[in-house]
Amino acid sequence: MGSKVHSRVEFENTFKGTGKCDNGHTVPIGSGGAAPYDLLTMALSSCLYSTFLDIMAKKKIEFSGAEIDVSGEKRDEVPTTLKYCKVTARVRNVASNSRAGVEKSFELATKYCSVYQTLSKVSQMDWEVIFE
């Protein structure tokens, strides 16, 4: 049996609510907050980065941080699932002799990130690494 996940969103009588995680964190959702696809793309970024961090630590490749940008296009027909998704990772302060290892680590992250793999079932997925 896999690990369980849980969250709760309390809504007003409009599309305005607060997402609550079991660890106590909250996220404003809807009017004045994050829209559903905002949350989805942030989930993809956080899952990819967490997986990438684990791989980089195992490979002992040093860097000072990263920014992950996710953009996409939804289908016109309902349900408007993702048609295309592009992930751009900007990785900071990587030694030039480690750049190939960073790219391989990110490629592995896309393979092992559960959110990336879930989205890849409905969307064309592309990614790139940019060094800063």
- What is the structure's pLDDT at 1? 82
pLDDT tens across 47-85, in order? 999 999 999 999 999 999 999 999 999 999 999 999 999
Q: What is the CATH number of the domain that holds 86?
A: 3.30.300.20
Whole-model pTM: value is 0.92
Domains in the chain: how many in total?
2
**CB count, 10 Å around CB of 125?**
18
Residues spanned by the domain of 1? 1-34
- What is the structure's pLDDT at 122? 96
pLDDT tens across 11-45, in order? 999 999 999 999 999 999 999 999 999 999 999 99
22 shares its domain with 73: no
Residue 34 · residue 42 · CB < 8 Å = yes
